[in-house]
Amino acid sequence: MKNKRTELKVSAIRSGTVIDHIPAENTFRVFAMLNLENSADHVYFGTNLESRKLGKKGIIKISNIFFKPEEISKIALVAPNATLIEIKDYEIVKKEQVLLPGEIQKIVKCVNPKCVTNNQNVPTYFKIIYDHHGTMKLACRYCEKTMSMDDIEFI
């Protein structure tokens, strides 16, 4: 073969969203979180692709779906460096890095079974904090417990 292909070619989508630079190990998590297994349209994904930024990355292309800000917050929680690209008629109309908000409301469950949010009709509310190793964590506004990203469960 004369021209050795080093890039993976995945079908371009006519209209929809590309989520790029997902940490490879979280590709399926993002997939499940956005409920893509129930999508009626074309969804393409790849994982363990080479990435200069991440080492290994995942990419997901979803036809005809554009995400709302709260869904983007969800993506940011498990893929804080992801790039979100919106495509219309094969053209990129918007390209931005997902932004992690300082606070996360209503989308994540508190890990503490005794937290008031798990026992009364109280919407969850977390602040994003960083521990002394610089690892991102969520601190519950109510029970004041902190939880690591591995423990998060979406509502």
Partner 1 sequence: MINLKNRSLVSITDYSKEEILKVLDIAENFEKDQRQKILTNHVIASLFFEPSTRTRLSFESAVQYLGGSIIGFASAGTSSVKKGESLKDTILTVSNYSDLIVMRNPLDGSARYASEVSPIPIINAGDGANQHPTQCLLDLYSIRKTQGTLEDIHIALVGDLKYGRTVHSLVQALSLFNATFHLVSPESLKLPSSVKKWIKDAGLEYYQYTELSDVIPFADIIYMTRIQGERFPDPIEYEKVKNSYILENSMLEKSKESMRVLHPLPRVNEISEDVDDNPRAYYFQQAKNGVYVRQALITAILGLKG
The structure tokens 């590709």 sit at: 27
Q: What order do you get walking across the sheet with 43-51 strand by strand?
A: 43-51, 55-63, 16-23, 83-88, 91-97
Q: What is the DSSP string of 82-97?
A: -EEEEEETTEEEEEEE
Stretch that binds partner 1, among 37-45, 67-75, 89-97, 107-115 (CB under 8 A): 107-115
- Under the binding rule (CB under 8 A), the answer on residue 143 touching partner 1 is yes
Among 33-41, 64-72, 92-100, 143-151, the segment contacting partner 1 (CB under 8 A) = 143-151
The conformational region for residue 55 under phi > 0 = left, psi -120 to 50 = alpha, else beta, is left
Residue 9 makes CB contacts below 8 A (sequence gap 6+) with none
User: How many residues lie near partner 1 (CB under 8 A)?
Assistant: 18
Span 110-129, contacts to partner 1 by CB under 8 A: 112, 114-117, 119-122
Q: Which positions ≥6 away from 144 have C-beta within 8 Å?
A: none
Indicate whether 11 belongs to the interface with partner 1 (CB under 8 A). Answer: no
Which of 141, 149, 151, 154 touches partner 1 by CB under 8 A? Answer: 141
Convert residues 66-105 into a mask of x (bound to partner 1 by CB under 8 A) and - (unbound). ----------------------------------------
The residue ranges that bind partner 1 (CB under 8 A) are 112, 114-117, 119-122, 131-132, 140-146
